[in-house]
Structure 1
Amino acid sequence: MRLARLTLAAAALLLVTTASVPSGTPLSQTERHTSLSSDAIEPRGAAPRPAVQRARHEPPFGAFVGSWDNYIPNIAKMATWLNGADMQVGHTYLAGNGWGDVEGESVVLGLWSQWKLADPQRKLVLGVPMLVPNENNMPDAEVARLLARANKGEFDLHFLKLARKLVALGGQDTVMTLGWEMNGTTYTSRCKPDPTAWKAYWRRIVTVMRSVPGQHFKFDFNPTRGLDAIPWTRCYPGDDVVDIIGMDSYDQPAGGTFDEYISEPYGLQDQVEFAAKRGKPVSYPEWGLFRNGDNPEFVRRMVEWMRTHDTAYQTVTDYCPHGFWQCDRNPRSTSAFKQLMSGSKGAAFPSAPHPGQ
């Protein structure tokens, strides 16, 4: 989840930068058992674990260095700082103030597409809101009403326009983190007010966007780690409309350990097992420091985790308090990150087609 909203200038239909907020308080053992028993993830020990797919490559990586198009040169600057690392993933977001934002500003999408097209191994990851306004503390009842309207097709045209623009500009293989962090409370594009309607709406959006000739989009189901407002498994819309199972993973709550981040309900272990059952890769579209300050152990463990699982891509959130290159608050973690990622050549982004493609 994210703090520090940016207000868009009136003259710019550009993109939005945000930061993270905590995911809630720890669960009691009773609450954990109840929540885990209510959906697709079974309590530990209840059934044999599926084989977790292991990475055969260095995961393609990048950083969120800012949403505005003039942040694009920072990717090359950060790569130079990492001694020539091949940062193959660009990550940005569409603003969600109105439907025009969701349709995408052609100039901005074009500049990001130009960055991607300069190297065939590059990939653009785009956060796409499902409802607008996306960050105005909308009550649950109003979210549910919007979801009902959405499932009548009222908003289809906006996603059709976005898909057509991306294909026309060369972004036909963009990865969409559609309705990211849907298991939380921050965004209007959230699941808890009506999970059934939310899943149907996700399916509708994917169907609309996949109808555009020439598209090869991938759709990344991207909750925040752990049990937030709702178990993220209750929001999962189906294997045929999801290509990647992502997770935003920040170093929180205060006092948390990486072992807890692995074993907590709906944490890292549950994510990779859920993905393994479905033969899908995982991703980490947002990760970084947060509630525990300068913590190089988190950095080392997170990079190791991503390198030893079937990670389609990872993008660190690189601004304070989360990051390393643009933030001088975390000298020990910065040193660890630079040592781990310096000179990394990454790998080609997995190119398996989505179902029916």
Structure 2
Amino acid sequence: MPHRGRRLVGACTTTVAAGLLATGGALVTAPPREASGRGAGTEVAVGAYLHYGTPGVERMQELSRWLGGTELRAGHTYLPGDTWSNIEGAPDSLQSWARWRKARTDRLFVLNVPMLERNEADLPDDRVAELIRSGAHGEYDHHFRRLAERLVGLGVPDTVIVLGWEMNGFNYSHRCRPDPEGWKRYWRRIVAAMRSVEGQRFRFDFAPNRGSDAITWTRCYPGDDVVDVIGMDSYDQPPGDTFDEQVAQPYGLQHQVDFAKAHGKRISYPEWGLFRNGDNPDYMRHMLAWITEHKPLYHSITDYCPHGVWQCGQNPRSARVFREFLSTGKGRGRGGPPRFDRAEDQAWPGLW
């Protein structure tokens, strides 16, 4: 996904929120996993990324009304990667998300966690490789233990952690290509650090971009013992001019499904939506059908322009498909597009 939006997230949130870990050693015992295949739970948690902070929580209920009462069970947000303090869980909005999660036992809280500070600083490959090696040697373990303690303390020890998302791309400082082997060791250290915190039941979601991108994402896979979910961020853009091509391309949607099945994992779609091909109801129908067929643990449409369907008015045909597909039929027609009370929120969707 294009990362410009999360550059804004980091700036906004910064304003608001002014053991046995040696590489190769035994890891803390992982929590029980929900494997894909026979016997696994198959109910799909529907979600949307609506805003990085507390307004995102409030808009979940509004979007649910727009969908005729459909329950949104996946709440999705990001920790900004500008400073280590934010990666440690400093944003106050985590409290709002924790309250949302605890209101119903069947909800999922999905949190994207950067692996490095200055995550959108366009660092050169040699500097990224140096930072990854430092992480692999344990220099940053304490930051992730603090995050784990923060989440457990907030009462969300079962958070789904989308760690180092889109690692196969070119942009983020937590990208894999500069040192794939070091990157995998670093992932393992982070998971060990977070699992060392008493009371945690985190699930770790490995979520590359669809396709090969800067490096084939299978080269970054850190191991079945430290991954619980095989995710994929997939937008309607090349490579893959048609949905069938997005499915069949090397390291595309079918490869994700097959890889997850081979490794006994559920799949997810932390980010998906429209993009280069504009308002494309055909893509929307096919993606929703794909999700229905393959039953990910959760999916979360990115709902701001140009990707979204509710907060973005430029995709009316796709919005109609999304709403009709996901609506419960109860109270259809109630609600409407979001209403913004503050000037900065009114401008917000167009800034991404």
Pick the TM interval, shorter chain.
0.7 to 0.9
- Are 1:119 and 2:104 counterparts? yes
Q: Report if the CA contact (8 A) 1:58-1:307 is conserved.
A: no
- Are 1:78 and 2:72 counterparts? no
Q: Report if the CA contact (8 A) 1:113-1:171 is conserved.
A: yes
**AA aligned opposite 2:223:** G
Q: Report if the CA contact (8 A) 1:254-1:291 is conserved.
A: no
Match of 1:13 among 3, 12, 17: 17
Deviations 1:300-325 (A, max 9, x none): 11111111114110000011111111
Tell me which residue corresponds to 1:338.
323
Describe the SS at the equivalent of 2:109.
Answer: strand
**Cα distance in 2, alignment partners of residues 202 and 338 from structure 1:** 37
Cα distance, 1:282 vs structure 2: 0.5
Tell me which residue corresponds to 2:217.
232
Describe the SS at the equivalent of 1:311.
Answer: coil
Match of 1:64 among 35, 49, 52: 49
Describe the SS at the equivalent of 2:15.
Answer: coil
**Cα distance in 2, alignment partners of residues 217 and 254 from structure 1:** 33
Q: Report if the CA contact (8 A) 1:255-1:292 is conserved.
A: no
Describe the SS at the equivalent of 2:11.
Answer: coil
Match of 2:147 among 162, 179, 191: 162
Q: Which moved more, 1:288-297 or 1:55-64?
A: 55-64
Q: Report if the CA contact (8 A) 1:112-1:124 is conserved.
A: yes
- Are 1:275 and 2:278 counterparts? no
Identity of aligned residues (%): 53
Unaligned runs of 5+ in 1: 15-51, 346-357
**Cα distance in 2, alignment partners of residues 56 and 303 from structure 1:** 19
Q: Which moved more, 1:53-62 or 1:68-77?
A: 53-62
Under a length normalisation based on structure 1, what TM-score does the superposition of the two structures give?
0.83
Count of matched residue positions in the alignment of Structure 1 and Structure 2? 308
Cα distance, 1:255 vs structure 2: 7.0
Cα distance, 1:253 vs structure 2: 1.8
Cα distance, 1:209 vs structure 2: 0.3
**Cα distance in 1, alignment partners of residues 225 and 154 from structure 2:** 26
Tell me which residue corresponds to 2:292.
307
Match of 1:171 among 146, 156, 176: 156
Q: Report if the CA contact (8 A) 2:43-2:297 is conserved.
A: no
Q: Report if the CA contact (8 A) 1:175-1:217 is conserved.
A: yes
**AA aligned opposite 2:175:** R
Match of 2:76 among 75, 85, 91: 91
Deviations 1:33-54 (A, max 9, x none): xxxxxxxxxxxxxxxxxxx949
Deviations 1:264-321 (A, max 9, x none): 0000010000000011110000000001111111111111111111411000001111
Cα distance, 1:72 vs structure 2: 1.1
Cα distance, 1:69 vs structure 2: 2.0
Cα distance, 1:171 vs structure 2: 1.1
Tell me which residue corresponds to 1:184.
169
CA RMSD of aligned residues (A): 1.8
